Each structure stands twice: as structure tokens, then as C-alpha cells.
Chain A
């Protein structure tokens, strides 16, 4: 069955420090992978996506993610975190569970805290 694991429930980093959020997926076929960010009380905003091609993808707000098929991972990175990055981050895989389309399967989320 398709699943997404985000091993870290909470992460705290200092402002200006680098960030890496981990995501591992389980999916038999070529995955479509996404990272979404959710600020408190808000909807989800797409940060970046991987469909095929270059395994290092760039997103908005200075985020990037690297797809590693051998490790079934799609970790999110940012070289220098800003206080406004404090939010909850969801990794998701587009899984073909329906005959005619893909369903987004989300990880449990990682809450990022930024300390000044």
C-alpha cells in the first residue's frame, strides 16, 4: 500500500541555520511527489513537486528537494531558514489507487519551529 513517512514530528532550528525535513515513501510505481506547507489556520501551499527528470527540484521560498529512488526519499532542504518559515510541512505522494486517477497520500507532517 502507498504510504508516506515523515519521521520527525517537530524540528526546531535557529534562524539562519540550514534545514532538512525528511520524507520516505512507499510506492511501487514511479512516484509523483510533493511538499506542501501550512501556516497555522491556513490552507496548504504547494512548495515544490517532482514528476520526472532532474532529481533535484527547486521550489518557492528558497526550498529545494532531492528525489532519491534508491532510498525512497524526497527530503526538503533550505540553506538558511527565516522566522517566517515556521509552519507545518507535509510530504505527499500521488498514488494511483483509483482506476482513473491519483490520490494524494499525505505524511503525518513535520512542525518546524524557528528560534531567533
Chain B
């Protein structure tokens, strides 16, 4: 099983809402990633978890709050977002953070902030 699943597929939220994105993998990978992708652009890294600990935060605003409850799950909690945060949010995982491990991507959550 080389699948990364993400829910929901689409999400529309107002600027005062609180919502969460969920990502799951069952490949035994110990590194998990959140990316943000705007239209016609490459993915931009947001956060990296390694062995369930936050390893990298790419200067992401605090209205995005990641959480890794266990080695298979990764959440992204959203609060007080802005319209410019509308994007495709991609989750990825890799065997480890080190060296030559490819990342497997989920299908993404299309987020619209109104």
C-alpha cells in the first residue's frame, strides 16, 4: 500500500471558522509533510514532522497549526484564515527525513476561504 489519503477533498470555510485537514498513511513512514500549492505554482513546504515531532516550520503563520497524533496521522488545524490562504493543501510522507527517500503525496484538500 503506497497510498496517502487526505480528507476532506474540498473545504469551504469562512474567515472566522475553525476547521482541520487530515492526512493518513500506512506505509510505516516516519516523516510527514504539509505543502501548500497555489494554482500554476509548485508546492511550497509548510511543515515537516519526523518521528512524530515537528522538525521544520517554514515560517508559516500561526493560523496554521499542525499536529501529529501518531506515526500514521497528520492534521492541520486552521483558524482565522484569510482569502489568500485558499489553495490546494498536500500531505506527503517519506520513509525517513534523511537522504534519498522519495516522498509520496496525497491527492490534496482544495481549500476555499470566503
Q: Which of A's residues lie within 8 Å of B, judged by CB?
A: 32, 34, 36, 41-46, 49, 51, 90, 94, 98, 100-104, 106-109
Contact = CB atoms under 8 A, between A and B. Distances in A.
Nearest to B104: A46
A98 B56 contact: yes
Contacts of A41: 88, 108, 110
Nearest to A48: B102
Contacts, number: 64
B32 interface: no
Interface in B67-114: 88, 90, 92, 96-108, 110
Interface of B: 4, 6, 31, 40-43, 45, 48, 50, 55-56, 88, 90, 92, 96-108, 110
A101 B98 contact: yes
B4 to A, nearest CB: 8
A109 B42 CA distance: 7
A36 to B, nearest CB: 8
B106 A102 contact: no
A44 B105 contact: yes
21 contacts: A36-B105, A41-B88, A41-B108, A42-B107, A42-B108, A43-B4, A43-B90, A43-B106, A49-B102, A51-B100, A90-B43, A100-B97, A100-B98, A101-B31, A101-B48, A101-B50, A101-B55, A102-B97, A102-B101, A103-B45, A107-B42
A1 to B, nearest CB: 15
A43 B42 contact: no
Contacts of B106: 43
Given A43-B108, A90-B43, 20 more contacts: A32-B99, A41-B88, A41-B108, A42-B107, A43-B106, A45-B105, A51-B100, A94-B100, A98-B55, A98-B97, A101-B50, A101-B96, A101-B98, A102-B101, A103-B45, A106-B42, A106-B43, A107-B42, A108-B41, A109-B41
